[in-house]
Amino acid sequence: MSLLGVLNNYNRGNYKLNPVIVQEEDYNVYYGGISNGLLWPALHNLPEYIVHDYDSPKLLRDHWCAYVRVNYQFAIDAVRNSRPQDFIWIHDYHLMLTGMVMQSLDPNLEVGFFLHIPFQPPENFFTKYVTCGLPVLRGLLRFTKVGFQTHRDRAKYLELVQQHLKGVVINHDNTMDIDTVTHEGWTCSLGVFPVSIKNDDFLKFVHMPESVVKKEAIRTKILGKDPPKGSRFFFSVERFDYTKGIKEKLVAYKRYFEKYPDRIGKDVLYQVAVTNRRSVDTYRVYQDECIALAKQITEAFKDPKRPEWKPLVFQTDGLPRPELVASYMAMDIGVVTPKKDGMNLVAKEMLICNPQAGLILSTGAGSETQFTTSGLYKEDGEKNYHRVSDLFDVEAYADTFYRAATESVSIRAAHGKRLSDFILSNDIERWSAAFLDPSWTHQVIRPTQVNTLEDFFSLMMRTRNVRRQIVDRVLKGIPIRQHFMISIKNAKESLENSSGSDSHTLVLRASQDSPDTAKFDIKNELDEFEKDLSFMQYAQSEDVDNVEQFVDWVIKQFRK
């Protein structure tokens, strides 16, 4: 069966998949080349892993052209298959220019973008690699709205925009925690939305009786039969990627046994590092170095009393979901210590499946930033996980392993429960709903206090523009966007809240500095807002059978 046939079969019971066919030569250069050889390490601020071939301006330009071509293909395909009422959501660093292309094809489109990885490029990204550095900055601003994993990534992006792009205007809304950036006639809203997991996809396995059986089998396989009291099962699982900090983890783990020999014969690290991207030189070299280090650890530490004991189980094959969940359930302590990671969902998966587990978490993970921001780790208070601040501080890292291993089971369980409860209430549905919420973009009229004539006329001007868009879409038979209704509601609320006890009289100053005031009867404006809201509700309802009926309703409504 052809690829299209496979996709068509899959689509029948799900949603429509529309493949974008890319020439093999372009794909190899775009994906295996510039995306993974330059953009991935650069945005993680790991310049030492940028492929040296990109020192050549010609090669950089040629590969960047392939990136642009592939982005054009995706953008054109998305525009062809979209409807005027659709919101288009683009994901990740492979497609950072699609918004720019789509807006050039249809400026009325609403296109969002979410960056799943960090945005922490090195300074020379905009000098040595200027061919792609500046287009990335500019390209993201052509989306209607952009989401980052953490505040530090958004802050870095804004810092670089101010530094490298001329004529940029940035405004911050403290209430919504949204930044609005205007550049070259385009406006983009920037928000922070830490991604999460679909909890039920993991919990359904946790609640299966066979998972408990697998859990016990895995513990026996890793720790051995009848392990000494206080033995600890450390577990790590990630792609075999230099951003994940696997090499630094192994160095610290080796030092852990050197520094705390009483843990020999007790503790085991089960490391799953799923091999990928072996065709990229930087990946292959890194992976080979880690495998060699893993062998050193296995050979260096033995327990004469337990000859079957191994300090490390290193696996390069992935785990099926049931096996993965059972491993989470079996572990005592999860170890998630990337150099840099957009979020790292493994930490969340671990605690959802095993709320009684401990967690070692590095500050390079976006999840650590989210937990800290949410009060789950306080420098002068409660610490619900073990933080690794510097992966290269081997002594401190080894000490962190020891603190996690010797922490009491009751304290560990209490901390794990708090983390698990937080993850349960911040799942992927909440993440997607927050990003897709139409109320947070620059297109929406925000609730505001109307104190001066300028405030009033500015609000009315913005309202007029919204009304024009509503009428235009209705006349074209296009559904009304959700944010139009939100804007009208907010404008009405702004007038009502600014009018004081008399809800029909607005007292306005001539200007911010003028003591002179004037009174305005705003009853008519409030009535018009009510009509607007009724109109939008009716226009989108199932009550309209034909054009004549709709026109008749409109005439009656607006003659009142």
**DSSP secondary structure letters along 36-76:** IIIIHHHHTT-GGGS-GGGGSHHHHHHHHHHHHHHHHHHHH
Q: 237 pairs with which residues across the strands?
A: 272
At residue 268, the pLDDT reads: 98
Please count the other Cβ atoms lying within 10 Å of the Cβ belonging to residue 121: 22
Read off the tokens for 228: 């000494």
DSSP 383-445: BSSEEES-TT-HHHHHHHHHHHHHS-HHHHHHHHHHHHHHHHHS-HHHHHHHHH-GGGSTTSP
Alpha-carbon gap, residue 478 to 472, rounded angstroms: 8
Read off the tokens for 83: 């409807």
3-state DSSP call for residue 150? Answer: coil
Q: Are 279 and 314 in contact (CB under 8 A)?
A: no
Encode the chain (560 residues) as per-residue pLDDT tens digits: 455 566 566 556 666 778 899 999 999 999 989 999 999 999 999 999 999 999 999 999 999 999 999 999 999 999 999 988 899 999 999 999 999 999 999 988 999 999 999 999 998 999 999 999 999 999 999 999 999 999 999 999 999 999 999 999 999 999 899 999 999 999 999 999 999 999 999 999 999 999 999 999 999 999 999 999 999 999 999 999 999 999 999 999 999 999 999 999 999 999 999 998 787 788 899 999 999 999 999 999 999 999 999 999 999 999 999 999 999 999 999 999 999 999 999 999 999 999 999 999 999 999 999 999 999 999 889 999 999 999 999 999 999 999 999 999 999 999 999 999 999 999 999 999 999 999 999 999 999 999 898 999 999 999 999 999 888 888 887 888 889 999 999 999 999 888 876 678 888 888 877 788 888 888 889 888 888 888 888 777 777 666 676 677 666 666 65
Q: What is the pTM of this model?
A: 0.89
DSSP class of residue 348? H
Q: Are 431 and 195 in contact (CB under 8 A)?
A: yes
At residue 321, the pLDDT reads: 96
Comparing CA positions, the residue from 34, 47, 40, 39 lying closest to residue 122 is 47
Alpha-carbon gap, residue 94 to 239, rounded angstroms: 18
Comparing CA positions, the residue from 227, 223, 237, 414 lying closest to residue 318 is 237
Helices (H) and strands (E) in the chain, counts: 21, 14
At residue 15, the pLDDT reads: 67
The b/e string for 264-276 (b: 16+ C-beta within 10 A; e otherwise) is bbbbbbbbbbebe
- To the nearest 10 degrees (0 to 180), the angle between helices 453-475 and 523-539 is 20
Residues with Cβ within 8 Å of residue 284, at least 6 apart in sequence? 278
At residue 554, the pLDDT reads: 65
Residues with Cβ within 8 Å of residue 166, at least 6 apart in sequence? none
